[in-house]
Chain A
Amino acid sequence: MLFNSPEFLFFFLPLVLTLALWAKNTSRDLLVVTLLAFSILFYYAGAAGLTLVLLVSVIVNFIFAKGIARFPSSSGTLLFLGIAFNLTLLCHFKYATFLVGELANIGVDIHWSNDAILPIGISFYTFQQIAYLVDIHRRESVDTSFLRYFLFVSFFPQLIAGPIVHHREMMPQFAQPQQEMWSDLSAGLSIFIIGLFKKVAIADALSPTVAASFGMAENGGEIGAAVAWYAAMAFALQIYFDFSGYSDMAVGLGRMFGIHLPINFASPYKADSIDDFWRRWHVTLSRFLRDYLYIPLGGNRLTRHRRIVNVLVTMLLGGVWHGAGWTFLLWGALHGAFITVHILWRGTSLRVAFIRIFGTGWAAFARAATLLAVLVAWVPFRASGISPTMEIWLAMIGMNGLQPAQLTSVGIGTRQISGMAIAWAIALFAPNAYQLLASYRLGTPSPGYPSTSIADAPKWVQPIIGTWSHALILGALFFVIFIQLNDPSEFLYFDF
């Protein structure tokens, strides 16, 4: 079931909200049971038989967690087995077909066919559970209630596509939910509508021309710079509004039940360095990779060379986490390379000199350079293979000429270009949803990610929040969404 489907909006959500609020006023345990039951129903409505994979994963991980807690002398072995179980499950569903295919390409034929369909959200719930096992092993987690654990993994607002939540920020909330019901409902519904608008009115509107322009390269056509740049720029917007829209909806839904979820996006295209970009884009994945991969590898504590190796390993695995394919590996490698360049650049005296010479202009240049790097890297992320990626990159540097006439053949006209320009203006200059609704303290900040610490709303928006016009403006946004709900499309991150 999709958040942007009428059955979710007009049936599932009102039902679960009514029952959960009743349960919340009755007992905490009843709230947990209610949310858990509806979370399973929500997952079953979309994944059907694959719900069994989620159930097995939760039960097996919980048994490992109990074992690790109860038998300290064997906790290392149990942790290893637990992580191995999770990675095996993930590999079976996500990577096995790719690996077998690649081995066959180099002449190693394993007579094995895998018809498994990827269970939605498996990458997200697997990561959450690995983190839980590691923290039980580190004695950093004490709550081992099965129901709360199950709900922490399967809580429907974040089950399918994150944010990747940490048990420390979730399980205490299930034990002691917030009590400001009306404020939570208003705040949650407000950001939910903003997220829905980003998904339905912006990301979905970009989808057909993105598909057509990437399709042109994938079908072997020679594409010009105009279509290539449109493809990269429009996809950058599509994935941002799609995924950040989903995250806003997740945060909003959680808040409606009194549960605070972490901020996952903090205006990433305003980043002034690639390092900053990763502190704003998919924050909860970034902090997971930092805490459970980068830091255990040695993080910043070792030599600069070792740090660069750690960054590259982390980013490569981060790329592969998104999907089994060379394109995701390339995307991760590119980001690893960008961060490496940034580390090296930060260590030079040239940077200080440039800042002195160019003053405030330097900040604008840094933002533009970061954005350009991110745009270039989105191409393999979206393309179906390395060959179309190269085709688009070559076209972007003008190898095939501009060919503006091609734009019309993939359905790009003045309307699409001006729509994209507006969307870029929003992404680059407008305050994000958390800044607009800052007075509600929506979304929890993540330590080490300063952009997720929101202070105050912009002055021009403060007189509107909490007034009649607040409700009317969001009602108008909802009407725009409503008339476009007829074809609810999936969220891009459901595939990962």
Chain B
Amino acid sequence: MRHAIVQTLLRQINARILFFTLVASCLIPAFSLVALLQITSWVGREKLPFENLLEHQRAKLGSDLAPIVFLGDSSLGNAINIEAWERETGQAAVNLALTGYYGYDGTLAMLRRLVGKPVQVVVIMQTADMLARSRNPQAPEEIFGAQATFRRIGQWWETTVNLVQIESTLKFIAKQLLIGLGLRPWLKAKGIEFSVASAIVNDYIRQGSPVMEPFEGKLDINAINKEQLGVLAQISQVCSQIGVRCIYAHGPLASPRCENSANYFDAARKMIVDAGLVVASGTPVCISPDELGDSVDHVAPQQKDIYTIRYADLLRPMLNEMSPNVRPGLSP
């Protein structure tokens, strides 16, 4: 039997059959996997953290927005607590932080979604090295552009077919099988959850374990990406077109890398101003090692209110220049 299988596998086939077999052996397993990922998602597989975050933030866009809007990535999501902000400044605001994956293009797409809303000020807060990262123009396509483009396909692919989704799917299937075998009480007793999703906590994705190592080194001026500056210029144009004042603030960054990168931030300030945006003085706020969360630019959850106040102090002079109707319906 085994011999026959080996003989079959090693039998020469003509070029036409070989080509179609090659195509089939590439596509059948691949698309079976895609189908599995999609079907398990439809039948109740838990969403991943970034998917929960997108839903959470998109829901806010559906309602009336406050006059101050924060747009940016996880450095913003982990640093600004809107309740603390409103207590401190008396100004209504909303935090629409996404993740670093969406980059400036995500911010641009979000900004376009603000057209027609009663927004007066947009604070853009991205992680300190966002200027040096590669552009990700396809990131916001599916969510905000909704055009049937190659980019949208690529974006769907990136968020749907990846190792994290595969892991989540395998866990979901294992869990369903065990439950099907009547092992739910045993799973409960063992405390096995099989879930990779984490809830939104305090308006952002729940953090992991804090980083214990210090972040040395510095950000490199030469690494600043001209393409990213181009997106900032587009952001500035949209701000003018929709009559919104846009302020750029660097998200917090761990010490001592933050202090070591003074030259980078000087250069970045000039370039961002050249792109047409106002930069908040004193940003980034440096994070001391004992206040650091689970990443180089994440404030520890228990420090979020303190950093909100620090940023409020830095942004206050710029916000005070706004008209009084920025604070509707708020009693300090």
A residues at B contact (CB < 8 Å)? 1, 5-7, 10-12, 45, 115, 117, 180, 182-183, 185-186, 189-190, 193, 215-216, 218-221, 384-385, 409, 463-464, 466-472, 474-476, 478-479, 482-488, 490
Contact = CB atoms under 8 A, between A and B. Distances in A.
A115 B33 CA distance: 44
A476 B15 CA distance: 19
B220 A45 contact: no
Contact of A468 (B13, B153, B226): B13
Contacts of B18: 182, 186, 466, 470-471
B11 A483 contact: no
B158 to A, nearest CB: 5
A385 B217 CA distance: 15
Contacts of A117: 226-227
Interface of B: 8-16, 18-19, 21-26, 29-30, 33, 134, 150-151, 153-154, 157-158, 161-163, 166, 213, 216-218, 220, 222-223, 226-227, 257, 260
A482 B14 contact: no
Given A11-B153, A469-B9, 18 more contacts: A6-B153, A6-B157, A7-B153, A12-B150, A186-B18, A190-B22, A215-B217, A219-B218, A385-B222, A466-B15, A468-B21, A471-B24, A472-B9, A474-B22, A476-B25, A483-B33, A483-B161, A485-B157
Contact of B154 (A7, A182, A467, A483): A7
B121 to A, nearest CB: 29
15 contacts: A7-B153, A182-B14, A182-B18, A189-B23, A219-B217, A384-B223, A467-B12, A467-B13, A468-B8, A468-B11, A470-B22, A476-B25, A482-B30, A482-B33, A486-B162
Contacts of A482: 26, 29-30, 33, 161
Contacts of B10: 463-464, 467-469
A220 B217 contact: yes
A466 B12 contact: yes
B13 A475 contact: no
Given A482-B30, A483-B161, A1 B22 contact: no
Given A220-B217, A220-B218, A471 B158 contact: no
A67 B11 CA distance: 57
B15 A471 contact: no
**What 5 A-B pairs are tightest by C-beta distance, nearest first?**
A219-B217, A475-B25, A486-B162, A182-B15, A471-B21
Contacts of A476: 25
Given A219-B217, A485-B157, A486-B157, A478 B14 contact: no
B173 to A, nearest CB: 16
B9 A486 contact: no
Contacts of A218: 217, 220
Contacts of B13: 466-468
A220 B24 CA distance: 51
Nearest to A463: B10
A476 B163 CA distance: 17
Contacts of A474: 22, 25-26
Contacts of A5: 154
Contacts of B150: 1, 7, 11-12, 45
A20 B19 CA distance: 17
A475 B29 contact: yes
A40 to B, nearest CB: 15
Question: Interface on chain A toward B: helix, strand, loop, or mixed SS?
Answer: helix
A220 B257 CA distance: 11
A189 B22 contact: yes
A478 B25 contact: yes
Contacts of A466: 12-13, 15, 18
B16 A182 contact: yes
A479 B29 contact: yes
A460 to B, nearest CB: 12
A409 B257 CA distance: 15
Contacts of B23: 189
A216 B215 CA distance: 11
B25 A487 contact: no
A474 B154 CA distance: 24
A199 to B, nearest CB: 16
A189 B26 CA distance: 10
Given A183-B15, A472-B25, A478-B30, A409 B213 contact: yes
Given A467-B13, A486-B161, A182 B19 contact: yes
Contacts of B25: 471-472, 474-476, 478
A310 B30 CA distance: 52
A384 B224 CA distance: 13
Contacts of A479: 26, 29-30, 33
B163 A484 contact: yes
A224 B138 CA distance: 39
Contacts of A189: 19, 22-23
Contacts of B8: 468
A385 B223 CA distance: 12
A467 B22 contact: no
A180 B19 CA distance: 13
A220 B22 CA distance: 49
Contacts of B220: 218-219, 384
B72 to A, nearest CB: 21
Contacts of B217: 215-216, 218-221
A468 B21 CA distance: 8
A185 B21 contact: no
B22 A186 contact: yes
Which of A10, A12, A466, A486 has the most CB atoms of chain B within a 10 A radius of its CB? A486
Nearest to A193: B26
A226 B142 CA distance: 44
A189 B275 CA distance: 45
Nearest to B154: A7
Contacts of A469: 9-10
A465 to B, nearest CB: 9
